[in-house]
Amino acid sequence: MVEVGLTGGIASGKSTVANFFKELGVYLIDWDVLAQEVVHPYLKAWEGIVKYFGKEVLNEDLTINRQKLGEIVFNDKEKLEKLNQIVHPEVFKEDERRVDKIRRLNSEAVIIKDIPLLIEVGLQRFVDKVVVVYASEEIQIKRLVERGAQLEEAKKRVKAQQPLEEKVKFADFVIYNNGSLEETRKQVERIYGIIKKEARVHHA
């Protein structure tokens, strides 16, 4: 079984790449989805958030108001750190649970873990391969504007992230996503072929 960390930057096309991999038959674990699931009402992370940030971060139905919480931690490193300390261990546990389930189903599975902050948090140590989806800053900004962001806001959001040039240094594979979807798909297929081949050799 091979565990692959997939990461990129805002509007670099990571979700598109993840879907292409999925179409090829990999198992996909999306850490953004896990992070949403572990904060459902009355779960451990939810209780930790309410205890630390107070009930004002809750919606009427007791779910976490992500926007409100995001605004609180956005400009406060200490609070962001605290939020990560509450949520990350639960995400890890849920990830392990899913990997075990997949292992029981298929011992030769390829698992893609879509982890936005893979490099920033140092999680590349816990995967067998790292795939970085790269797009130029101009393309990232253009895509954000096309999605409805103001130009200045788009620039700010791209600049707020670790530069993709830095992430590429940690990559086993880089998918260049400045071009057409077809070009991106071909790169995904090629990388998937290499990973499968290496997995078979390893398994043998």
Series of mean pLDDT values for 10-residue runs along the chain (204 residues): 95 95 96 96 97 96 94 89 94 96 93 94 93 96 95 92 94 96 97 89 62
The answer to whether residues 132 and 7 touch, using CB atoms and an 8 Å cutoff, is: yes
What's the predicted TM-score (pTM) here?
Answer: 0.89
Q: How far apart are CA 108 and CA 93, in angstroms?
A: 22
Task: Please give the pLDDT value at position 141.
Answer: 96
> What domains are defined for the chain?
1-26+109-204 (3.40.50.300), 36-108 (no CATH)
Strand segments, DSSP code E, in 27-186 are 27-30, 110-114, 129-134, 173-176
pLDDT at 77 (0 to 100): 87
CA angle at 177 for the pair 172 and 179, rounded to the nearest 5° = 140
- How far is residue 191's CA from residue 58's CA, in Å, rounded to a whole number? 42
In the chain, the amino acid numbered 101 is: K
pLDDT of residue 194: 95
pLDDT value at residue 198: 82
pLDDT of residue 166: 94
Q: Output 138-141 pairs: Cβ under 8 A, ≥24 positions apart.
A: 139/11, 139/177, 139/178, 140/9, 140/10, 140/11, 140/12, 141/11
Q: Which of 184, 136, 137, 154 is nearest to 6 (CA)?
A: 184
